[in-house]
Amino acid sequence: MKNLKIAIVATLAIVFAMSSCIKHEVIPAPVPMVDLNCHFIGSINGTNVELTENVLGYYCTTSKAKILLPSPSLSSASYFSEMLSSSTPVSIKIALGSVVWDASTAIDPDVAAFNAFHGSNLTPNFSATGTAGFEFSYRDGTGVTWTSKSNSVNFQDVTFSNILQESDTSGDYSKFTCNFECYVYHTDAVTLLLDSLLVQAAEYEAWFKR
């Protein structure tokens, strides 16, 4: 009986030792990611143009342009959102600026300034290169780029809505719906004449990234 007890104790000790050596896999909690979607539809020169994410290779890309000035002057940033594809030349791009901040404190505007700008700038003026308002660019099937003008004599209008600021580990985003109508222009390289196209009932759902 004594030997049996010793055998049982030894067996339990071995089992305990083996179980303590087993490394349990630690599965990290899922990281929340911002749900980003893009889509454009509108009439350009009387033809319906629709760009849909993941159709014909279309996707959205964002960028920004900054004018950095030494303090106490304020620096400024303009934000760009573009839908394009590597399989077709047709693309659209919008610009919106400017967020101002003191670049001596940070290389970019903070999240509060970024959010405040996009949340309050719902009906911006049209602006060349988007430095002080809104600009729309359209690249046609031949690769020619047509761009709105800040001083156009023709009717133009833009409204941002459904502004939603979200952040994840990849960055800070301002999601939006942008509705606009305007003319876009291109100067012919041969004739030097200014041509124009009418953009109507355009709607672009996408985002800017801080």
What are the residue boundaries of the structural domains of the chain, listed by start?
33-209
Tokens of 95: 């610009």
Backbone CA torsion sign across 113, 116, 117, 118: positive
Give me the mean pLDDT over the 139-145 stretch: 97
Cβ–Cβ under 8 Å, residues 160 and 180: no
Give me the mean pLDDT over the 88-98 stretch: 97
What CA–CA distances, in Å, run from 102 to 68, 72, 118? 9, 7, 18
**Residue 32 — pLDDT band, cuts 50, 70, 90?**
confident
pLDDT for residue 71: 92
Give me the mean pLDDT over the 62-70 stretch: 96
Give me the mean pLDDT over the 53-70 stretch: 97
Average pLDDT along the chain: 90
pLDDT higher than 70, residue 41: yes
As a whole-number percent, the residues of the chain with pLDDT over 70 amount to: 85
pTM for this predicted structure: 0.84
- Range with the lowest mean pLDDT among 13-27, 137-151, 174-188? 13-27
**Residue 189 — pLDDT band, cuts 50, 70, 90?**
confident
21 vs 87, more confident: 87
133 vs 29, more confident: 133
pLDDT for residue 4: 43
